[in-house]
Amino acid sequence: MKFKHIALATLLAPVALLAEEATLSSGDTAWMLVATALVMLMTPAGLALFYGGMTRSKNVLNTMGMSLIAFAVGTLVWVIAGYSIAFGEGDLIGTGKLFLSGIAADTLKGAIPELLFVAFQGTFAAIAVAIASGSMIERVKFSTFTIFSALWILAVYAPITHWAWGGGSTLNFGEMDFAGGTVVHINAGVAGFVVALMLGARKDYGKAAIKPFSPILTVLGAALLWFGWFGFNAGSEVAADGIAASAFLVTMVAGAVGAIGWLLAEWVVYKAPTLIGGASGVVAGLVAITPASGSAGAMGAIIIGLVGGVIGFIGVAKLKKLFKVDDSLDAFWVHGLVGIWGSLATAIFIASYAMKEDYNMISQLGSQAAAIVLTIVYSGLVTALVFYVSSLLTGGGRVDEETEQIGLDETTHGEKAINL
Amino acid sequence: MKFKHIALATLLAPVALLAEEATLSSGDTAWMLVATALVMLMTPAGLALFYGGMTRSKNVLNTMGMSLIAFAVGTLVWVIAGYSIAFGEGDLIGTGKLFLSGIAADTLKGAIPELLFVAFQGTFAAIAVAIASGSMIERVKFSTFTIFSALWILAVYAPITHWAWGGGSTLNFGEMDFAGGTVVHINAGVAGFVVALMLGARKDYGKAAIKPFSPILTVLGAALLWFGWFGFNAGSEVAADGIAASAFLVTMVAGAVGAIGWLLAEWVVYKAPTLIGGASGVVAGLVAITPASGSAGAMGAIIIGLVGGVIGFIGVAKLKKLFKVDDSLDAFWVHGLVGIWGSLATAIFIASYAMKEDYNMISQLGSQAAAIVLTIVYSGLVTALVFYVSSLLTGGGRVDEETEQIGLDETTHGEKAINL
Amino acid sequence: MKFKHIALATLLAPVALLAEEATLSSGDTAWMLVATALVMLMTPAGLALFYGGMTRSKNVLNTMGMSLIAFAVGTLVWVIAGYSIAFGEGDLIGTGKLFLSGIAADTLKGAIPELLFVAFQGTFAAIAVAIASGSMIERVKFSTFTIFSALWILAVYAPITHWAWGGGSTLNFGEMDFAGGTVVHINAGVAGFVVALMLGARKDYGKAAIKPFSPILTVLGAALLWFGWFGFNAGSEVAADGIAASAFLVTMVAGAVGAIGWLLAEWVVYKAPTLIGGASGVVAGLVAITPASGSAGAMGAIIIGLVGGVIGFIGVAKLKKLFKVDDSLDAFWVHGLVGIWGSLATAIFIASYAMKEDYNMISQLGSQAAAIVLTIVYSGLVTALVFYVSSLLTGGGRVDEETEQIGLDETTHGEKAINL
Amino acid sequence: MKKIEAIIKPFKLEDVKEALVEAGITGLTVSEVKGYGRQQGHSEIYRGAEYVVEFIPKIKIEIVVSTDEYADIAIKAIAQAAKTGKIGDGKIFVSTIDSVLRIRTDERNEEAL
Amino acid sequence: MKKIEAIIKPFKLEDVKEALVEAGITGLTVSEVKGYGRQQGHSEIYRGAEYVVEFIPKIKIEIVVSTDEYADIAIKAIAQAAKTGKIGDGKIFVSTIDSVLRIRTDERNEEAL
Amino acid sequence: MKKIEAIIKPFKLEDVKEALVEAGITGLTVSEVKGYGRQQGHSEIYRGAEYVVEFIPKIKIEIVVSTDEYADIAIKAIAQAAKTGKIGDGKIFVSTIDSVLRIRTDERNEEAL
Ligand SMILES: Nc1ncnc2c1ncn2[C@@H]1O[C@H](COP(=O)(O)OP(=O)(O)O)[C@@H](O)[C@H]1O
Ligand SMILES: Nc1ncnc2c1ncn2[C@@H]1O[C@H](COP(=O)(O)OP(=O)(O)O)[C@@H](O)[C@H]1O
Ligand SMILES: Nc1ncnc2c1ncn2[C@@H]1O[C@H](COP(=O)(O)OP(=O)(O)O)[C@@H](O)[C@H]1O
């Protein structure tokens, strides 16, 4: 949302924003109520299904459970301390809003109630750690992941958010990240990769065919993610105005061409466009447009999303094999790698009407790169630390061999995905 | 929504509301259009899946069909007579708006069109009877339930709503019920319990293992319920303002901690946090916060929701066994019992900024208790009467033994949940 | 949306609309952001599930894939050229907005950003061609359908939209089509029928029992369609006002009574109300109300929807057998035939407060009929041409016998709907 | 050694299992099958079409026992527990088994049962 | 008495059933199995991996008949109806059944069929 | 000819198949069954109730071979590959097959295998 402050004045400024005394806009508030609900839906429904459908039948519930618990625990730590760290006062770290102290129902943030802004940003924190869960499935302990979720949001997500959107200028390099390309996607992708590395590969990885439970769930999940992403991107404008409309349209376009890109790539390589590929392409396209959603035009979105879909496929089908890391549901490749593309592309594809006169692409690319590197380094290191602590607290982060082989649904949850 | 009128003046009052002549607010209308759609989704999608997933495979479609028909029939009787009974003029009973007479597209209710208010409130009526269906599954006749839905909304739901939100003061005890803790949840829970008692237990109840068809559906259903509940609670403000924002945030928090509470309780008792438990905990947390959603703060919501989740688990896993009633999907325990907790808690946990200066907790607890007792007594008695009539009209309310044993999907609907 | 311009002045006119200089309304924009998201959800989620659930297990993914690709390709061609053809300047055909040229983030369409209007209308184009896919399932080539989607939107959908909503008066007969009864439903139904005729019947059609994969998906799909239809109908007002509220309420009512009508008809004929029937009835009721949603009152909606449900059932269960055409998922019968009923009913059932003083029902019925005939003829002919071309480009539009027999999920996509 | 294969109605599985356990049978294998016979299937309905489902869900139980006496005991237990007296109750087939091996212990024949 | 077990291609089930009914066979039991043999499985694709599915869906039909003639009739009917001439058409195995019991009536052996 | 029926733990299927292929067995049929025996089932939990699942998922493998030697080879391969040493490893049953027909070619008996 950083970029918003730069570009806003040149565009449609909602009247209220310029008024001397801030007043609540019921239109903006109406939109943000909905946008928050949309982003909320992404985690316990969208991601739970998207990931659950790609998991083996013996672990589907466990995978869905991780999205659910990520949202539950994430929400709790967010209102207790996460929001304060991310959006409290301070240069390197925010303070002063623990337990949401000082925020009443009539406290405003721009033209909307701050309590609503708290909720909106909380849904981002929760989905970030839920995205990372995709790298850990079928072997991480449920207890370990639960603790990890809480710690990661406080120690990794909230600080990075503070630097990008909430705080001072020391660690803000002027990057354009309208809706969380760096903050959410690169961050979560890197975190997932690091944990996958620490956990080690699943026993069957690379040996047996790992069949996804049901592409039906994955497609439905991707559709719900897309639906929610309108809140994610257009909601990041925090107003119902022309930029929100533009962000909405490019979100629609990028998801569409992301699917086309991935399917075309699959068709060239395997002669078979898969549903899981189409769903993954939607997500890749959406990841790619996220940082650019407030600045790119529809034609830029076509390129960003299409390339995003192709890069996602290449990452998953080719580059992944160069590493030995069992990033099980490809959080790094689909969110991290494509997120990097999106962040760089943000500096390149800007709608003519959104570009400032003195815009310098090279220097902006530098800002983007700096933010990417900061995120990778910080997220990589602190995630490792946080996961190490979470493992210690739960007697090791990985289930035993027999549990892995029987499946976590039966062993951890005492349930079965489907009883015919 | 009663409480709203009390607290509103002390908070953010949308400009239009205070204006001499009421005018339509497009922001409030925008929010209420969406809020109504959100609550609508709760019944034929959210509850249908939440309940369907916990039903045995031979009855899944029948269970889902009850939610669908509840919404269909409920909507029909609501516009014909239910709205008039609930929100027409009158002390004990509303009149004058049969067939929505006198309401045109430009008739306002506050700052939104009254037709929209009709739709919003109609979704509440429908979900109430659909919640009660959970107590009756796997044995009630589809025809009986269909007739029951219509009669119950007219004879039970609409009057109780009138007393709480629509009408005079004789049966309104000044209780705080922002979004329907008493009106919807306690009411529906009691109704379900009474019908379960009248129907008798399923043949297999307590004998054979009754396996839920798929926790996947239950989790998805809970996520959609949660999503819709933002409309339910924050929509009950009937405006896009600070109280709506606060109601939104506490809805997010209470669902989250409800899940945590239930899962923790399961983990302590069974050493296994289940997905159905997590989903049930979300619902329990949401039920608990419903009456308090316009007045509690986020920290109050943590307590209300967490305790709600734990009480839900205790009700289902322990208290239920003290009774012989086969409340099959626990409508009473999750909506009734937790609803009582929520109603009492509403008087206890009030955000500092929402509390009136002369607030007296003890007297408010009395009001809450009075409303609870009235609801239990009236709903209990009239539900019994209504179900008795519905059974008479359909030649008995329960399917025969063979039908029960084969399953209602095949016998009543001629369909199968899944054809592999 | 044509009718809106006629009726608007007599109803609630949002202040901004009458103002000399157009300004953005954040309330209207908030609503349209959401309405667009709602309609978007209808295609890759609602229709994909509604159709997927009725497909045999060996083709479920392929059917869902058609909805997904329809939305992806539809969005792409819409922003490139479709929007220009439909909403550009011109009497018979629109021009001047290729690649959305000339539309910036602050360009308004009424009181909302034009970019948002582009997105909103794009979702209509996509769902129209996805509806038609229901007639082609289990035998059309995925590649053929992909190309067909693109061409059909440009050559069939966009021109018809232009005449009804976007353009001059030569081919606009003054018909009332608030939300696309003719433009979307009759059009798509006819297109599906024509392609089904050209493709020929499935090998098993009329021979073997064709079992739907899962009514669960179909019911969930119908619920999501209904949810999205609030955006479809109430969004067609392009404002959050009294007409939008009225359109919302009648959408709720018509879906409800559509289900009741279809289920009653099934119960009379087969003694079994099916879930697929209930879901189909919801859709039939919604199709019927679509053109009338801006003008009918709730009581009119009861008749329109109920009859719509019954006609849908009669079409599918009786009339269809008079033809030899394997309109596999009944796009013509549920969207075309019921759409015709809805279009004629629009002229008959008008809320008293929405009827102009000089309203002449007979002449309006003539306008409706003229628009229906134009749509059938144009859509019928040009769809045939477009499908012929698409077949040519892909070496024939139908898969070979063995592929049909094995199923398209395995052969085309290399996937399986569910791996237990 | 004898193998007993019984085709029964699905909802009788629990009763049959209990009868067998009471009769001293401690091992069995169950599978889901579909039967075609005298019993009429129900009709399913799908959007304007009603069709009869000819294959009816059944459960197959397989039990290998060491002696003819055990076989008789098992047959009697199954027949009694599975009977409803209505068409479709199912059949019991008996055949001969040449040898048995318990994988875990390498025990053979009678000892393996 | 003889038991005939046939492994066939799933889409041939309807044809085989009709051929059997025409040949006078009125009872049979069907189950879903997976076969491994000469027939090559198709490949499935999953996010950057293509793997061959070696186990191919097949249908197993079991029929118990009273005489060798009936067995021959049934075998002929199945073989004819199930044949496509392509690899994977399946096999028919015949074995001996010692006794049969119809649960509903307690009829035994030939009478039970 | 002999028929070998083996009940094994599901996760051992891949290993057993490979062992059989290495031993020269090129055809087999697999089905999903549920077993009841000494092995204790796990417990499932459902809203305030914990119950033991008595029927445990197993895989049944059926192989028809032409000679007793082949039968021994197959049994050995299965027994070795399926063994974990824990309760529930399963059993192998051997019986006699009277005749075999390959549907595709009408070959009979040994030639059909
Ligand atoms: N000849 C047969 N061979 C194999 N299975 C049979 C045979 N006859 C019947 N069955 C099985 O037994 C079941 C019950 O048979 P059916 O004729 O319907 O009733 P009943 O057992 O009462 O005579 C059938 O569904 C089928 O699975
Ligand atoms: N020796 C065997 N024992 C058991 N089943 C077998 C055997 N050989 C083949 N089958 C079954 O028969 C099916 C067809 O065999 P396959 O070798 O693929 O083709 P064909 O029947 O044309 O020779 C296999 O999928 C398997 O189910
Ligand atoms: N007498 C029997 N007849 C048929 N199947 C049996 C028999 N005994 C055991 N089985 C099958 O073998 C499986 C393993 O048997 P079990 O007693 O649990 O362990 P183990 O094989 O180690 O002795 C059972 O689950 C069941 O499927």
Instruction: List the domain range (segments joined by +) for residue C37.
Output: 26-413
Inside any domain, residue B18: no
A212 inside 8 A of chain C by CB? yes
The string of DSSP letters for E46-102 reads -SS-EEE--SEEEEEEEEEESSHHHHHHHHHHHHHHH--SSTT--EEEEEE--EEEE
Q: What per-residue confidence (pLDDT) applies to A4? A: 38
* Closest ligand to Cα F27: 2
Inside any domain, residue A53: yes
pLDDT, tens digit (0-9, with 9 covering 90-100), for B305-314: 999 999 999 9
3 state SS of E41: coil
Q: How far apart are alpha carbons C285 and C254 in whole angstroms?
A: 5
The string of DSSP letters for C305-347 reads HHHHHHHHHHHHHTGGGGS----TT-IIIIIIIHHHHHHHHHH
Q: For residue E71, is pLDDT > 50?
A: yes
Q: What per-residue confidence (pLDDT) applies to A10? A: 37
Give the position, in ligand 2's atom list, of the atom nearest the Cα of F64. Answer: 3
Q: What per-residue confidence (pLDDT) applies to C21? A: 60
3 state SS of C157: helix
CB contact under 8 A, C122 and A252: yes
Which residue in chain F is spatially nearest to B329 when comparing CA positions? F47
- CA C252 centroid distance within chain: 17
Q: For residue C14, is pLDDT > 70?
A: no
Query: Are residues D5 and D61 in contact, defined by beta-carbon separation less than 8 angstroms?
Result: yes
Section B335-357 average pLDDT: 96
Q: Is the dihedral of CA C201, C206, C208, C209 positive or negative?
A: positive
Q: What per-residue confidence (pLDDT) applies to A2? A: 36
B177 inside 8 A of chain A by CB? no
Query: Are residues A338 and A287 in contact, defined by beta-carbon separation less than 8 angstroms?
Result: yes
A416 inside 8 A of chain F by CB? yes
Inside any domain, residue A3: no
* Closest ligand to Cα F35: 3
Q: What is the dihedral of CA C419, D5, D11, D12, to 10 degrees?
A: -150
Q: What is the dihedral of CA A274, A278, A279, A285, to 10 degrees?
A: 150
Chains in contact with A via at least 3 Cβ–Cβ pairs below 8 Å: B, C, E, F
Q: For residue C316, is pLDDT > 90?
A: yes
The rounded Å distance from CA F61 to ligand 1 centre is 24
CB contact under 8 A, A414 and F14: no
Q: How far apart are alpha carbons B417 and B59 in whole angstroms?
A: 8
Alpha carbon of A59: minimum distance to chain F alpha carbons (Å): 14
**Which residue, A347, A116, A353, is CA-closest to A238?**
A116
pLDDT, tens digit (0-9, with 9 covering 90-100), for C338-378: 999 999 999 999 999 889 999 999 999 999 999 999 999 99
Structure tokens at B60: 């899944």
Contacting residues for E99 by C-beta, under 8 A, at least 6 apart: D93, D94, E1, E108, E109
pLDDT, tens digit (0-9, with 9 covering 90-100), for C17-46: 444 467 999 999 999 999 999 999 999 999
Q: What per-residue confidence (pLDDT) applies to C11? A: 40
Q: For residue D93, is pLDDT > 50?
A: yes
pLDDT, tens digit (0-9, with 9 covering 90-100), for B35-52: 999 999 999 999 999 999
Give the position, in ligand 3's atom list, of the atom nearest the Cα of D62. Answer: 4
Q: What per-residue confidence (pLDDT) applies to F112? A: 78
Section C255-269 average pLDDT: 97
Q: How far apart are alpha carbons F113 and F107 in whole angstroms?
A: 9
- The single-letter DSSP state of residue F7 is E
Alpha carbon of C132: minimum distance to chain E alpha carbons (Å): 28
Residue C345: HSE in the Cβ half-sphere, 13 Å Cα cutoff: 31
Q: What per-residue confidence (pLDDT) applies to B13? A: 40
**Which residue, C129, C33, C32, C137, is CA-closest to C74?**
C129
Q: What per-residue confidence (pLDDT) applies to C12? A: 40
Alpha carbon of E13: minimum distance to chain C alpha carbons (Å): 11
Q: How far apart are alpha carbons B212 and B220 in whole angstroms?
A: 14
Q: What per-residue confidence (pLDDT) applies to A3? A: 36
Reported as a pLDDT band with limits 50, 70 and 90, residue C101 is very high
CB contact under 8 A, C414 and E42: yes
Query: Are residues C29 and A244 in contact, defined by beta-carbon separation less than 8 angstroms?
Result: yes
**Which residue, C367, C10, C347, is CA-closest to C174?**
C367
Residue environment code for D10-31, b if the CB has 16+ CB neighbours within 10 A, otherwise e:
ebbbebbbebbeebebebbbbb
Q: How many residues does chain C have?
A: 420
**Which residue, C6, C22, C27, is CA-closest to C238?**
C27
* Residue from D4, D20, D29, D107 whose mutation best tests the ligand 3 pocket (most atoms within 8 A of CB): D29
Q: Is the dihedral of CA A388, A394, A395, A399 positive or negative?
A: negative
Give which of C220, C268, C283 to mutate to test B binding, by max B Cβ within 10 Å.
Answer: C220
Reported as a pLDDT band with limits 50, 70 and 90, residue B201 is very high
Alpha carbon of C31: minimum distance to chain B alpha carbons (Å): 5
**Cβ contacts (< 8 Å) between B234 and chain C: which residues?**
none
Cβ of D16 less than 6 Å from ligand 3: no
Cβ of F90 less than 6 Å from ligand 3: yes
Chains in contact with F via at least 3 Cβ–Cβ pairs below 8 Å: A, B, D, E
Q: What per-residue confidence (pLDDT) applies to A53? A: 98
CB contact under 8 A, C113 and A242: yes
Give which of D65, D95, D98 to mutate to test E binding, by max E Cβ within 10 Å.
Answer: D95
- The single-letter DSSP state of residue A319 is I
Give which of B210, B211, B403, B410 to mutate to test D binding, by max D Cβ within 10 Å.
Answer: B410
Section C380-406 average pLDDT: 97
Q: For residue C108, is pLDDT > 80?
A: yes
Q: What per-residue confidence (pLDDT) applies to C9? A: 37
**Cβ contacts (< 8 Å) between D53 and chain C: which residues?**
209
Of the candidate ranges B222-231, C8-17, F61-70, the one whose mean pLDDT is the lowest: C8-17
* Closest ligand to Cα F65: 2
Q: How far apart are alpha carbons A29 and F12 in whole angstroms?
A: 58
**Long-range contacts at B396-404 (CB < 8 A, ≥ 24 apart):** B396/B141, B396/B144, B397/B140, B397/B141, B397/B144, B397/B198, B397/B199, B398/B139, B398/B140, B398/B141, B398/B144, B398/B199, B398/B200, B399/B139, B399/B140, B399/B141, B401/B203, B404/B138, B404/B139, B404/B202, B404/B203
The percent helix, strand, coil of chain D (3-state, each to 5) is 30, 40, 35
Inside any domain, residue C7: no
Q: What per-residue confidence (pLDDT) applies to B11? A: 40
Section B270-280 average pLDDT: 97
E42 inside 8 A of chain A by CB? no
In this prediction the pTM is 0.96
| CATH number, domain containing residue B213 | 1.10.3430.10
pLDDT, tens digit (0-9, with 9 covering 90-100), for B224-263: 999 999 999 999 999 999 999 999 999 999 999 999 999 9
pLDDT, tens digit (0-9, with 9 covering 90-100), for E7-21: 999 999 999 999 999
Averaged pLDDT score across all residues of chain C = 94
Sort strands F91-96 and F2-8 into parallel, antiparallel or unpaired: antiparallel
Query: Are residues C394 and C143 in contact, defined by beta-carbon separation less than 8 angstroms?
Result: yes
Reported as a pLDDT band with limits 50, 70 and 90, residue F42 is confident
**Cβ contacts (< 8 Å) between A414 and chain F: which residues?**
42-45, 50
Alpha carbon of A251: minimum distance to chain B alpha carbons (Å): 20
Q: What per-residue confidence (pLDDT) applies to A209? A: 84
Q: What is the dihedral of CA B273, B278, B281, B282, to 10 degrees?
A: 160
Cβ of E41 less than 6 Å from ligand 2: no
Averaged pLDDT score across all residues of chain B = 94
How far CA B408 is from CA of B304, B404, B420, C210, C416, in Å, comes to 38, 6, 19, 21, 29
CB contact under 8 A, D47 and C280: yes
Q: How far apart are alpha carbons B277 and B272 in whole angstroms?
A: 10
The string of DSSP letters for A229-268 reads HHHHHHGGG-SSSHHHHHHHHHHHHHHHHHHHHHHHHHHH
Inside any domain, residue A286: yes
How far CA A30 is from CA of A254, A391, B123, C108, in Å, comes to 25, 42, 20, 20
Give the position, in ligand 2's atom list, of the atom nearest the Cα of F104. Answer: 22
Q: For residue F109, is pLDDT > 70?
A: yes
Reported as a pLDDT band with limits 50, 70 and 90, residue F41 is confident
Report the residue from D11, D14, D45 with minimal CB separation from B415: D45
Contacting residues for B395 by C-beta, under 8 A, at least 6 apart: none
Q: How far apart are alpha carbons E111 and B27 in whole angstroms?
A: 80
CB contact under 8 A, E14 and C208: yes
**Which residue, E54, A203, E60, A210, is CA-closest to F21?**
E54
Q: What per-residue confidence (pLDDT) applies to A12? A: 40
How far CA C231 is from CA of A382, C133, C184, in Å, comes to 44, 22, 14
Structure tokens at C274: 């099916």
B317 inside 8 A of chain A by CB? no
* Residue nearest atom 13 in ligand 3 by C-alpha distance: F90
List, as ranges, residues 374-413 from A with C-beta within 8 Å of F: 405-406, 410-411, 413
Q: How far apart are alpha carbons A177 and A372 in whole angstroms?
A: 11
The tally of domains found in chain A comes to 1
How far CA B191 is from CA of B131, B299, B328, B379, in Å, comes to 9, 32, 13, 6
Q: What per-residue confidence (pLDDT) applies to B6? A: 38
Inside any domain, residue C382: yes
Q: How far apart are alpha carbons E48 and A321 in whole angstroms?
A: 9
Q: How far apart are alpha carbons C276 and C334 in whole angstroms?
A: 13
Q: What angle do CA B132, B137, B139 make, to 5 degrees?
A: 130
Query: Are residues C56 and C210 in contact, defined by beta-carbon separation less than 8 angstroms?
Result: yes
* Residue from E16, E26, E28, E100 whose mutation best tests the ligand 1 pocket (most atoms within 8 A of CB): E28
Q: What per-residue confidence (pLDDT) applies to E31? A: 97
The string of DSSP letters for C91-147 reads SSS-BS-GGGTT--TT-EETTEEHHHHHHHHHHHHHHHHHHHHTTTTTTB-HHHHHH
3 state SS of C241: coil
Inside any domain, residue B152: yes
Section C133-156 average pLDDT: 98
- ipTM associated with this complex: 0.95
CB contact under 8 A, D79 and E106: yes
Q: What per-residue confidence (pLDDT) applies to D48? A: 76
Beta bridge partners, D95, equal D3
Residues of chain A with pLDDT under 50: 2-20
Q: How far apart are alpha carbons F106 and E92 in whole angstroms?
A: 10
Inside any domain, residue C52: yes
- The single-letter DSSP state of residue A135 is T
